[in-house]
């Protein structure tokens, strides 16, 4: 059993402000350690479920937050951005059996979402075939392209609700709950226990999870929060300007849509 673990930081226990996720800022090192600990909890759960290969993808900001020596020895780690199309899903291919998301956040404009955004801060909404998606939804489409299901998500309460609406039989662990700009937090040690148990359960019961696929044709709409990126993006071959701040692109091949998204955002 091969498991791909994609880790973000905004959805890690205790994280409440963007500064806490930025290298060099106050408390970043503390929350970086929490990121390591929650990743290790997921790795331990995967091992208990019988994983034979575990690849961890550092998916936050510089993609150089996780340190190899701080992770369980059984895991492999992908750091930094390659410049390719897969971004947070770098390293995933058809050989994997399951995707695990740790430390993720809700989409832009989600009520009471903790540090909510969708990929780039300039994206107001991302829709595929009319369905508004958070980052985990877009990344799940990359996994679905390879026939790999999402089985587990941890992060704030809002992203866990969004995961349950998108992915059949997914196991979720909400580590905190947004209250406007504030958040109600649960003890990190307890959350690590829940993550470990949740990943184990999700992998043992993964037969009930299906790859996230939205049909035979894809129409991607990107709504920016200002006009300039939409103007620039309409020069991409096949892109259509459908509004002051909105671009649309359609293809039978999701890889074409992924290429469109990466180049215009």
**How is the beta sheet containing 218-224 ordered, strand by strand?**
131-132, 123-128, 218-224, 246-251, 240-243
What pLDDT is stored for residue 214 in this prediction? 96
Q: What is the pTM of this model?
A: 0.97
Read off the pLDDT band of 66 (50, 70, 90).
very high
Give the integer Cα–Cα distance in Å for 167 and 59: 20
Average pLDDT for 243-260:
97
Token output for 9: 């930081």
Q: Of 171, 188, 208, which one is at a domain's C-terminal end?
A: 208
What pLDDT is stored for residue 226 in this prediction? 97
- How many domains is the chain built from? 2
Here the CATH number for the domain that contains residue 60 is 3.40.50.10780
Same domain, 70 and 156: yes
Same domain, 32 and 64: yes
Give the integer Cα–Cα distance in Å for 184 and 255: 39
Give the integer Cα–Cα distance in Å for 154 and 230: 32
Same domain, 146 and 259: no
Same domain, 200 and 223: no
> Which residue range is the domain that position 20 belongs to?
2-105+142-208
What pLDDT is stored for residue 93 in this prediction? 98
Same domain, 152 and 90: yes
Q: Of 187, 208, 229, which one is at a domain's C-terminal end?
A: 208
Same domain, 157 and 245: no
135, part of any domain: no
Question: Among 36, 60, 105, 117, which one carries the catalytic annotation?
Answer: 117
Same domain, 189 and 229: no
73, part of any domain: yes
In terms of residues, how long is the chain?
265
Average pLDDT for 71-88:
97
Same domain, 96 and 225: no
**184-233 pLDDT, tens per residue?**
999 999 999 999 999 999 999 999 999 999 999 999 999 999 999 999 99
Token output for 28: 């970043």
What pLDDT is stored for residue 131 in this prediction? 98
116, part of any domain: no
Same domain, 165 and 247: no
119, part of any domain: no
What pLDDT is stored for residue 169 in this prediction? 98
What pLDDT is stored for residue 67 in this prediction? 97
Average pLDDT for 167-195:
97
236, part of any domain: yes
42, part of any domain: yes
CB 58 within 8 A of CB 64: yes
130, part of any domain: no
**117-162 pLDDT, tens per residue?**
999 999 999 999 999 999 999 999 999 999 999 999 999 999 999 9
Same domain, 255 and 151: no
Read off the pLDDT band of 91 (50, 70, 90).
very high
Same domain, 70 and 199: yes
Same domain, 92 and 158: yes
Closest CA to 53 of 35, 88, 78: 78
Is 146 catalytic? The answer is no
């Amino acid at each position: 059993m091969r498991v791909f673990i994609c880790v973000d930081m905004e959805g890690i226990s205790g994280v409440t402000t963007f500064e806490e996720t930025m290298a060099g800022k106050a408390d970043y090192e503390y929350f970086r350690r929490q990121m390591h600990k929650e990743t290790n909890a997921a790795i331990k759960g995967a091992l208990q479920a019988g994983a034979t290969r575990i690849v961890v993808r550092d998916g936050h900001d510089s993609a150089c937050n996780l340190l190899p020596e701080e992770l369980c020895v059984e895991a492999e780690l992908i750091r930094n951005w390659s410049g390719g199309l897969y971004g947070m899903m770098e390293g995933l291919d058809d050989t994997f059996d399951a995707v695990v998301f740790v430390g993720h956040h809700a989409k832009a404009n989600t009520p009471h979402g903790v540090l909510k955004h969708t990929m780039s801060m300039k994206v107001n909404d991302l829709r595929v075939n009319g369905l508004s998606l958070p980052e985990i939804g877009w990344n799940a489409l990359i996994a679905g392209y390879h026939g790999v299901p999402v089985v587990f998500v941890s992060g704030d309460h809002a992203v866990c609700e969004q995961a349950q609406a998108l992915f059949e039989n997914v196991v979720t662990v909400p580590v905190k709950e947004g209250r406007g700009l504030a958040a109600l937090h649960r003890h990190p040690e307890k959350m690590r226990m829940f993550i470990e148990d949740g990943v184990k359960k999700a992998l043992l019961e993964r037969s009930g999870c299906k790859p996230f696929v939205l049909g035979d044709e894809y129409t991607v709409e990107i709504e920016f929060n200002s006009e300039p990126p939409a103007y620039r993006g309409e020069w991409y071959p096949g892109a259509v300007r459908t509004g002051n701040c909105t671009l649309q692109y359609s293809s039978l091949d999701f890889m074409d849509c992924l290429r469109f998204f990466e180049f215009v955002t």
